[in-house]
Structure 1
């Protein structure tokens, strides 16, 4: 699916035909099909072409999850990647072998000023930087329907036991789904596992280092296996929406915004999609960190944003780098915030959030403000992440497989990935 921005294309053609000093140039762009991503790039391109009317953009959409991963890797391997593309930072970025496939952009004026924590997630072993963020930093946890909580007198849980007790009340007193799952988009099935990492680190502070060195695993670390167990527990309790196997990511966001369901395990970047699709309901959606076993160690697993990259196969590297430099500027960041609203802390200097932010963002910010209140997701602390996780979490969340066997299979999947990366100890 492509969406050609005809306004800038027509203007560039007019300049060329009229003998203008600027010559038309088109940049191809591959992005995921999330509504918030599309809105961000539409805003970025509109702001950029206002300053650079000689440049046009041809946008192509791809799916998310494993299917999208395969598309990105295949097109990089075959030299058929767009001039600019969006993709994850962290371990999935490392799997692209950036020194072989991507253009280093550390020399761009706006890149050096980006948040240092983010730069570490788009950097190779030699310190070369390859990407710039187009999203806010985000939390992984539970979106929830605020009016339902108020109606039932529920309090935000800080332990898993309290969370399950809230689900029991919702199931007993309403016809709403206590927990929303959306396995049509398989990547969404991973949140109960991935967003549990703050709790893993609280129990095992050295887990990431030991995991990378093949000294700790999901199957033999109770705190790590707990995420799979939580997924199994909500399924076996009967708390899921009836159509969990067919429901999509957009369905899940609609359900939590309208109150058809009450809890949706999800990343907070999704607030941009709610802002796009249900703007009148954005403040009905709250957020809390995925609870663990102890209220004393309650905190938020955070994701550093996805990024924009340039493949070495591009024929328009200089023009693409100029666009990435704009994305990393306060003007580019402001365009994103204007399009999607405030979905979390932005990592571009001098790009401030408005005073009036959605409820879920207000709920998230205190974790960032409290010392020790956040921990990066495992994929930002270790290069090891197995590609089969989303298939395994769908199986556990559908009652096809139990948590223990999924953890064992995921460890085997991780081992394959670690060997491909050439890590020591594997």
Structure 2
């Protein structure tokens, strides 16, 4: 899908629009000392994986466009951050541009009502077609990608594996057997970081490649309310495996109070052997633990069948413009998005934060000195049938309470069966709010 090209404004039109916008701004809106500079605010979550690339993009864009200043603001991650975005959009208090999920979570923002459509913008031609469905509603496109595609799976300490003579597992049984040997050697087998509640979801969400391998129609039937996590034996296994590692005593002792940066420290130090997580955190690993970065590898979350072993893939997050951005700021915001969706934008991100997977912007090669964990992920992309998009990119439905439910299951507070049933009710409410047929 390549959106039709729309010609640029003429110089006269741009001047008129900028003049009208300047006339309508209240004092201080543009945030410059001489009144000539347009100031854009850019909201991102407070993870290194978002802040560092955002600041790199802001700096590079400002250097190229000295008449525009981009100021990065931060918000919390997870459910709290979702509420911040939704509240600011509903009250008209959103920043000029902002970072948010692509895929099903975007639909909850009601993009047709809250976001500026980018359909017809020439810079969309720089983006790979596979990205557009994840930032679209109907025929309209609303975002450009930041960062690269990433995998959901397990970061592991290679030094621990080498010392114990372990092999990378391709089945869940092999994974649990490795965990038993690791625990016997006095190392915590599985790191969990439930202080950052979003990290609790990985055993469920990253298992979708295995779900789709067992039930190829799951996404379609799930969207149509013909199956669910509690009703599907394959989908229920993600919750069961979350419970299983807890009940076996395989978790780090401080799993309830640790944030993901702390989990990366434990992994780099060999205090824990496995960390189920998304690969976007590899940049933080490299930034904070550069001496140990090559000691950390990656493998896809194992399933039941070694022959079908593969990776669940997340497409990049999007950068969006709210409808409250107008006039000269809207023009500058679109120019900023055009920069992000360019090879220069990729280069700025690569300099600021180690790439966590392939970019979906054209002509953006990855550097040769990729971290070991990212190199481990790339072969999955090179082989047919070894990658599957995460469920949130092939279905518009994702219940917002999943991260709280998986914390409870992973902490032994709630059983896997109860967690799956509770999540099904959460999904039902979300599907009805979105008006999905069959609900």
TM-score, normalised relative to structure 2: 0.91
**SS where residue 112 of structure 1 aligns?**
helix
Asked whether the equivalents of residues 286 and 371 of structure 2 are also in contact (C-alpha less than 8 Å), the reply is: no
Distance 1:356 1:74 in 2: 41
**1:157 aligned to which of 164, 169, 174:** 169
1:37 equivalenced with 2:45 (yes/no): no
Q: Which residue of 2 aligns with 1:92?
A: 105
Deviation at 1:113, TM superposition (A): 2.7
Distance 1:173 1:215 in 2: 46
Deviation at 1:58, TM superposition (A): 2.5
Q: Which residue of 1 aligns with 2:86?
A: 73
Q: Which residue of 2 aligns with 1:299?
A: 310
**2:353 aligned to which of 340, 357, 367:** 340
**2:300 aligned to which of 260, 281, 289:** 289
Deviation at 1:37, TM superposition (A): 1.1
Summarize deviations over 1:72-112 as a string: whole Å, max 9, x none: 01111111000011000000011111110000113332212
**1:308 aligned to which of 319, 324, 339:** 319
C-alpha RMSD of the superposition: 1.3
Q: Which residue of 2 aligns with 1:398?
A: 411
Distance 2:376 2:70 in 1: 37
1:260 equivalenced with 2:303 (yes/no): no
Summarize deviations over 1:135-188 as a string: whole Å, max 9, x none: 1100000011111111111100000000000010110012x2110000101010
Summarize deviations over 1:368-401 as a string: whole Å, max 9, x none: 0000010000000000110110111000000000
Q: Which residue of 2 aligns with 1:323?
A: 336
Q: Which residue of 2 aligns with 1:133?
A: 145
Summarize deviations over 1:43-93 as a string: whole Å, max 9, x none: 111110111112112322111111111110111111100001100000001
Q: Which residue of 1 aligns with 2:160?
A: 148
- The 5 A counterparts of 1:20-419 are 23-125=36-138, 127-174=139-186, 176-315=187-326, 316-419=329-432
Summarize deviations over 1:316-353 as a string: whole Å, max 9, x none: 21111110110001000111112112321111111101
Query: How many equivalent residue pairs?
Result: 408
Distance 1:342 1:35 in 2: 12
Judge which range, 263-272 or 110-119, deviates more.
110-119
Deviation at 1:287, TM superposition (A): 0.4
> Runs of 5+ in structure 1 lacking a partner?
1-8, 18-22
Asked whether the equivalents of residues 258 and 281 of structure 1 are also in contact (C-alpha less than 8 Å), the reply is: yes
Asked whether the equivalents of residues 32 and 38 of structure 2 are also in contact (C-alpha less than 8 Å), the reply is: no
**SS where residue 135 of structure 2 aligns?**
coil
> Runs of 5+ in structure 2 lacking a partner?
1-27
Asked whether the equivalents of residues 36 and 276 of structure 1 are also in contact (C-alpha less than 8 Å), the reply is: no
Asked whether the equivalents of residues 62 and 70 of structure 2 are also in contact (C-alpha less than 8 Å), the reply is: no
Deviation at 1:205, TM superposition (A): 0.1
Distance 2:228 2:367 in 1: 42
Distance 1:156 1:198 in 2: 18
Judge which range, 249-258 or 207-216, deviates more.
249-258
Distance 1:45 1:26 in 2: 11
**SS where residue 140 of structure 1 aligns?**
strand
**SS where residue 354 of structure 1 aligns?**
coil
Q: Which residue of 1 aligns with 2:9?
A: none
Distance 1:341 1:235 in 2: 32
Asked whether the equivalents of residues 106 and 112 of structure 1 are also in contact (C-alpha less than 8 Å), the reply is: no
Distance 1:329 1:27 in 2: 19
Asked whether the equivalents of residues 149 and 360 of structure 2 are also in contact (C-alpha less than 8 Å), the reply is: yes
TM-score, normalised relative to structure 1: 0.94
Summarize deviations over 1:206-255 as a string: whole Å, max 9, x none: 00000000001111100000000000000000000111000001111111
Summarize deviations over 1:250-286 as a string: whole Å, max 9, x none: 1111111221211000001111111222222221110
Q: Which residue of 2 aligns with 1:422?
A: 435
Distance 2:125 2:263 in 1: 37
Deviation at 1:13, TM superposition (A): 4.4
